[in-house]
């Protein structure tokens, strides 16, 4: 299998800035860099909307971030507000406590609540915090996300102490959703080789903050 080109990988990237201390100037620089690099989108916090000068870039916004411990109706309202202010994609964090205690119907219900608040063509990604879950839990929450109408499952917030993306989790998530949903690998992907490993494992989108460094290791 041929390795993807720089431009092909760039078009899989949500160029991301979610640090709590990020300034308006840093977000503007993120947008400018994303345009220069040719990424698919930028991913920012909801308080940074609306964004100016995005051109053809998609705008992804996190929801219930980073803990996921918000009530479903709060996540739904946050997502709807973000879409009203220009977001085309929502990356919501599921309630990890539901997932780790086997409350999969509750997981599905809250995802469905957000989906109802932001119907298609808005893209809904569900952050499952895979590093904090067992394989069985990963499978079950991916199934719940699909049943609730999500478009993607996503590995990680990048903020959980259990860790970020792993090739094992991406492979398991991709196998579970079987191409019916996308798989976004995010959290701790800092090298070109790591990004390529995630793609080979089945990732169809990458959440990256060090995008320029990763793309620099690829051929045009």
- What residues are labeled active site? 91, 154, 184
Integer angstrom CA distances of residue 169 from 132, 135, 183:
11, 8, 10
On whether the CB atoms of residues 159 and 208 are closer than 8 A, the answer is: no
d(CA 36, CA 49): 21
The tokens for 162 are 């259990």
The phi and psi torsions of 167 (rounded to 5 degrees) equal: -65, -35
What is the number of other CB atoms lying within 10 angstroms of the CB of residue 106? 17
């Amino acid at each position: 299998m041929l390795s993807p080109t720089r431009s092909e990988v760039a078009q899989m990237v949500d160029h991301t800035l979610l640090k709590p201390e990020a300034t308006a100037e840093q977000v503007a620089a993120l947008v400018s860099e994303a345009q220069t690099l040719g990424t698919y989108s930028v991913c920012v916090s909801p308080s940074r909307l609306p964004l100016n000068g995005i051109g053809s870039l998609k705008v992804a916004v996190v929801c219930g971030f980073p803990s996921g411990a918000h009530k479903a109706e709060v996540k739904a309202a946050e997502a709807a507000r973000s879409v009203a202010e220009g977001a085309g994609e929502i990356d919501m964090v599921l309630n990890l406590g539901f997932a780790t205690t086997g409350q999969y119907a509750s997981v599905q219900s809250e995802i469905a609540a957000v989906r109802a608040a932001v119907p298609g063509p808005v893209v809904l990604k569900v952050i499952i915090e895979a590093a904090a879950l067992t394989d069985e839990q990963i499978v079950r929450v991916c199934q719940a996300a699909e049943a609730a109408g999500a478009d993607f499952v996503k590995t990680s917030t990048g903020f959980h102490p259990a860790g970020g993306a792993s090739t094992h989790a991406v492979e398991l998530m991709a196998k579970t959703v079987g191409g019916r949903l996308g798989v976004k690998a995010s959290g701790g992907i800092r090298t070109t080789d790591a990004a390529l490993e995630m793609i080979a494992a089945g990732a169809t989108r990458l959440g990256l903050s060090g995008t320029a460094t990763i793309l620099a290791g690829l051929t045009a």
